């Protein structure tokens, strides 16, 4: 498809570029549900579009492994095979001065991803030329610098709102949750201490209720 025929949100080279150029500061718009639905739809469409573009540039062998579900990016059980590609990716970024950490993250039943944490407040124009949204079949997640908001009983509904993705929950609270399945949903149980940064130490624990990959509720420990 010619570039000018694509929907505008599919012309961007990263999710971050899309958010900045479209001046998207939040995906939550309770007073405008149509806008909220449109932003979430465009987010997923752009993410799929970037993935399809990446998929076309993989080797035939890598595409075959992904289609067969045997590529190391497909499941946490393949984490050991993923380390070779991860080390290659980390070495590629080693000389970039604005990176704080490059890590391989596998979240329970979710697929392994490469997480790149920035140490400086640099825009996508700086890092986009060197840090791709995908690398050899793995999604690359960018974590911007800056402090997280403090999670308390009063702020939990705002910080971990309904509709937040399961992946974003792991980004905020960490991957050390006890996962259980019940009543058609998934329960991510966190027990504190140790208390993650920016979580109120008075909270002994929290359970995040997930359905169809997104948050639908929160329950606090006693």
Looking at residue 27, its pLDDT comes to: 77
Residue 160's CATH number = 3.30.1450
Give how many domains the chain has, as a whole number.
3
Does the residue 95 lie in any domain? yes
Residues 6 or more apart in contact with residue 134 via CB below 8 angstroms? 50, 51, 54, 140
- Residues 76 and 132 occupy one common structural domain: yes
Q: Rounded distance, CA 166 to CA 215, Å?
A: 7
Looking at residue 75, its pLDDT comes to: 78
- Residues 179 and 132 occupy one common structural domain: no
Which whole-number Å values give the CA distances from 195 to 104, 151, 185, in the listed order?
Answer: 22, 11, 25
Over range 170-193, report the average pLDDT. 83
Stronger pLDDT, 139 or 175, i.e. the higher one: 139
Looking at residue 196, its pLDDT comes to: 63
H helices present in 60-185, as ranges: 60-68, 79-93, 124-127, 156-159, 166-173
* pLDDT tens-digit series, residues 92-129: 999 999 898 898 887 555 678 898 888 877 778 888 88
Handedness of CA 90, 98, 199, 219 (dihedral sign): negative
Residue 135's CATH number = 3.30.300
- Residues 80 and 127 occupy one common structural domain: yes
- Residue 30 sits in which domain range? 3-56
Looking at residue 107, its pLDDT comes to: 58
Q: Above pLDDT 70, what percent of the chain? A: 91
- Residues 133 and 163 occupy one common structural domain: no
**Mean pLDDT score across all residues of the chain:** 84
- Residues 170 and 216 occupy one common structural domain: yes
- Residues 136 and 185 occupy one common structural domain: no
* pLDDT tens-digit series, residues 30-77: 788 899 889 889 988 998 999 999 999 999 999 999 999 899 998 777
């Amino acid at each position: 498809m010619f570039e000018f025929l694509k929907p505008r949100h599919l012309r961007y080279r990263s999710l971050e570029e899309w958010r900045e150029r479209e001046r998207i500061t939040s995906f939550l718009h309770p007073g405008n549900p149509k806008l909220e639905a449109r932003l979430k739809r465009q987010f997923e469409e752009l993410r799929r579009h970037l993935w399809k573009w990446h998929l076309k540039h993989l080797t035939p062998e890598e595409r075959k492994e992904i289609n067969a579900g045997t590529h190391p990016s497909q499941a946490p059980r393949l984490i050991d095979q993923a380390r070779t590609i991860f080390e290659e990716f980390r070495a590629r970024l080693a000389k970039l001065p604005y990176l704080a950490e490059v890590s391989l993250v596998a979240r329970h039943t979710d697929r392994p991803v490469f997480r790149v944490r920035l140490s400086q407040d640099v825009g996508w124009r700086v890092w986009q030329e060197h840090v791709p949204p995908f690398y050899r079949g793995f999604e690359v997640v960018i974590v911007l610098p800056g402090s997280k908001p403090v999670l308390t009983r009063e702020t939990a509904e705002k910080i971990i709102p309904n509709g937040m993705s399961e992946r974003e929950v792991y980004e905020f609270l960490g991957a050390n949750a006890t996962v259980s399945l019940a009543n058609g949903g998934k329960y991510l149980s966190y027990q504190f201490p140790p208390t993650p940064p920016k979580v109120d130490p008075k909270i002994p624990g929290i359970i995040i209720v997930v359905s169809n990959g997104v948050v639908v509720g929160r329950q606090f420990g006693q």
